[in-house]
Amino acid sequence: MACVLASLLLFAYLLLLPGLSSSHPLCTDSKAPVTPKTPLAFCPYSGNVCCDSAKDLELQKQFQAMNISDPACSSILKSIVCSICDQFSAELFQIEGPQPVPVLCNSTISANASQSNGATNDFCGKVWDTCQNISILNSPFAPSLQGRAGVPGNSTYSKMTDLWQSKSEFCNAFGGDSGNGSMCFDGEPISLNNTETPSPPNGLCLEKIGNGSSYLNLVAHPDGSSRIFLSDQQGKIWLATVPDEDSGKTLELDELNPFVDLTDEVYFSSEFGLMGMAFHPNFAQNGRFFVSFNCDKIKWPGCSGRCSCNSDVNCDPSKLASNNGASPCQYHSVISEFTANGTTSEVSLATRANPTEVRRIFTMGLPFTSHHAGQILFGPTDGYLYFMMGDGGSTGDTYNFSQNKKSLLGKIMRLDVDNIPSAKEIDTLGLWGNYSIPKDNPFSEDTELQPEIWALGLRNPWRCSFDSERPSYFLCADVGQDQYEEVDIITKGGNYGWRAYEGPYLYSPPLSPGGNTSVNSTNPIFPIMGYNHSTVNKKEGSASITGGYFYRSMTDPCTYGSYLYADLYAGNMWAGIETPQDSGNFSSRSISFSCARDSPIQCESLPGSSLPALGYIFSFGEDNKKDVYLLTSKGVYRVVRPSRCSYACSKENATAAGSPNRGTSTPSSGSWLRVAFNNVMLFLSSSLLLILGFVF
């Protein structure tokens, strides 16, 4: 058994080797590329780039200081120095572990290697052949800069042959396989020329597996099992077991015995309640989990905190407009920490949690009674807690909170909940609770920003998710005002335009007691997908987007790689397709959906139609198998095999027959490997638990 596990671990490790990850356009500082107001004068990059004029000048001086005499080598080194301006520089410079030069394409690693445009490229070998005997001042190729012993490059001339014994050794340090789906630098700006055009699915086949009518959140159990957590808006969280597809079974859930009941603390109304939950990445060991909810300070003494309308943001609570009979900041947004420790001998087996709050992470009073979002998520790569917050309500963000860098309204926050500061630190920094600030939050570069802020300019972000295959894809749906519902790729320090813009449209607020922000100063990042209100069958006179997930399950291989989202009121659903993959360029198409004939719970139908009546689509969810769920006012639905609804999908047959492509519909050569890795890791975790005697 040990040999088998060792082999599987080795296989899993091989699947994690560099090159199997993909990324949308992203800079080394985790920010989105932008079009500079002034074209770059030195570096040959145009359009969306990761440099401004100041950085361009800095790179020019850096290059000139190398004092390279040979024209051919000089040209190559200039391209390498300027590559940090490429819109894919985060991938080229390996954002997880920055290096002084980009990964150089090296086809000698693989006999069949090819760059994304299909051409064999040994740029690393070309760099060596051209520059090996040329003296370079402060060479970026010094071995010491690669974490290896060697001749340092500080203030000294050196030749590559002085630093490296051979081309092979040099390219082992700086080269990267250009044929495994990764990005590498070949001397030119990255150009994605993949000719495969993925297609949106013909339709989604759903089965109804639960009758709960007010679930807002579905979170996979961190132990990798088939269990999930469900929470409702009133304040309860349940632990449930997901049935296998085709089993004919429904969710195993004991409604009378919730995992934790917080209804005494939670204030529940149409836009208030338990809005989010997140389980610590190490929950199976430490039992820590976090709940985001709203409270009423009149009904619960524990509901107490600063008002978000205050002098720091030029807002006077006494002058706020009518708030539906409530006083300003009567209601608060709260994040509390709870624990399942002490409820069982093994935390991962806990079926109940302690309802007593362990620690108050965050408390903020709300100026109005709407637009406070409230979802929380742990970042899959950094382990920090992301907190989605709306603009606080009122038509047109009356007080311009979303663009006010001193306000936390209309923002996405990023908090460190593993390092709790002292009371003195909280007071000194003006924090809103017990959390620390990640050192690389945007405030480190923009001192006008509150330190909690990761992104700004949002109206009411309703349901965000990280792509399980490409964690740099952090997508949020943002609810619009009068015209447009949008989906955004969230990046560090990104400004998404509200209220200067509503989606791609300029917006003029009816009232502006909080002042306006100049359109030219926002540098907005526009939506990658969305829809106009006029295009949906609106109910209740409005439209409201519900964000979803990149579909990464092999249950429906024809939907694999599509981003699914919906409208809460209208019941419309869309599938977003990125073309080419990793470009950040999306198109979306409305998709049909049906209910499986053999659904464990019979689906209600729309009057005069065979289509399922889903009611309001509150939220989406994803389990450990990457199956996707819809949480609606009519119940819990799961996306299942297309054939169960008679949707044509040739890849379903290929997957069932054990095709090596696994039905993958994305052009990435590493996609099926990542799926295989997920399955291997699930098997490994289950095997190890069995060895330890833990059976779920």
Under the banding of pLDDT at 50, 70 and 90, the label for residue 659 is very low
pLDDT digit string (tens) for 563-600?
Answer: 999 999 988 999 999 998 888 899 999 999 999 999 99
Angstrom distances, CA of residue 249 to CA of 195, 226, 241, 643: 42, 14, 11, 19
Does 524 score more than 90 pLDDT? yes
Q: Identify which of 29-43, 161-175, 218-232 has the greatest average pLDDT.
A: 218-232
Buried b (16+ CB within 10 A) or exposed e, 458-473: bbbbbbbbbbbbbebb
The confidence score (pLDDT) of residue 693 equals 37
Distance CA(145)–CA(621), nearest Å, equals 43
Which of 528, 514, 498, 541 lies closest to 319, judged by CA?
514
Give how far the C-alpha of residue 399 lies from the chain's centroid of Cα atoms, to the nearest Å: 29
Distance CA(587)–CA(593), nearest Å, equals 19
Query: Which contacts of 434-438 are long-range, i.e. CB under 8 A and separated by 24 or more positions?
Result: 434/359, 434/360, 434/361, 435/361, 435/362, 435/385, 438/382, 438/384, 438/414
Under the banding of pLDDT at 50, 70 and 90, the label for residue 142 is confident
* Number of residues that this document lists for the chain: 696
The confidence score (pLDDT) of residue 608 equals 79
The confidence score (pLDDT) of residue 322 equals 56
pLDDT digit string (tens) for 251-264?
Answer: 999 999 999 999 99
Q: Look up residue 150 and give its amino acid.
A: G
What's the mean per-residue pLDDT of the chain? 85
Distance CA(472)–CA(462), nearest Å, equals 19
More confident residue, 95 or 373: 373
**Is residue 686 within 8 Å of 224, Cβ to Cβ?**
yes
The confidence score (pLDDT) of residue 29 equals 87
Q: Is 629 helix (H, G, I), strand (E, B) or coil?
A: strand
DSSP letter at 92? H
- Encoded tokens for 200: 């949106």
Q: Look up residue 336 and give its amino acid.
A: S
pLDDT digit string (tens) for 497-513?
Answer: 999 999 999 999 988 88
Stretch 417-430: mean pLDDT: 92
pLDDT digit string (tens) for 196-233?
Answer: 667 888 899 999 999 977 899 999 999 999 999 999 99
The confidence score (pLDDT) of residue 348 equals 85
Any idea which residue has 């606080």 for tokens?
392
**Is residue 106 within 8 Å of 122, Cβ to Cβ?**
yes
Stretch 518-523: mean pLDDT: 86
What does the H/E/C string look like for 231-287?
EECCCEEEEEECCCCCCCCCCECCCCCCCEECCCCCCCECCECEEEEEECCCHHHHC
β-partners of residue 624 are: none
Does 677 score more than 90 pLDDT? no
Q: Is 367 helix (H, G, I), strand (E, B) or coil?
A: coil
Rg over CA atoms, the chain: 26
Domains and CATH numbers, the chain: 33-176 (no CATH), 214-538 (2.120.10.30)
Stretch 622-632: mean pLDDT: 98
The confidence score (pLDDT) of residue 143 equals 74
Angstrom distances, CA of residue 236 to CA of 555, 630, 689: 30, 19, 29
The confidence score (pLDDT) of residue 2 equals 42
pLDDT digit string (tens) for 122-141?
Answer: 999 999 999 999 999 989 99
The confidence score (pLDDT) of residue 342 equals 80
Under the banding of pLDDT at 50, 70 and 90, the label for residue 660 is very low
Report residue 188: phi and psi, to 5°.
-130, 160
Stretch 643-667: mean pLDDT: 64
Beta strand 484-489 with 288-296: parallel, antiparallel or unpaired? unpaired
Stretch 135-148: mean pLDDT: 74
**Is residue 481 within 8 Å of 533, Cβ to Cβ?**
no
Angstrom distances, CA of residue 104 to CA of 80, 150, 184: 9, 20, 5
More confident residue, 517 or 325: 517
β-partners of residue 183 are: none
Does 289 score more than 70 pLDDT? yes
Under the banding of pLDDT at 50, 70 and 90, the label for residue 179 is low
Q: Which of 181-190, 333-342, 670-679 has the lowest mean pLDDT?
A: 670-679
Helix axes 167-174, 123-131, angle to 10 degrees: 130
Distance CA(287)–CA(351), nearest Å, equals 11
Sheet architecture: strand order including 586-591 = 545-550, 563-567, 573-578, 586-591
pTM of the entire structure?
0.84
> At CA 142, angle to CA 141 and CA 145, rounded to 5?
95
Distance CA(551)–CA(662), nearest Å, equals 14
Distance CA(415)–CA(454), nearest Å, equals 9
Beta strand 505-506 with 501-502: parallel, antiparallel or unpaired? antiparallel
pLDDT digit string (tens) for 78-89?
Answer: 999 999 999 999
Q: Look up residue 485 and give its amino acid.
A: E
DSSP string, 305-363: --BSSSGGGT--GGGPPP-TTPPTTSEEEEEEEEE-TTSSSSGGG-S--EEEEEEEEEE
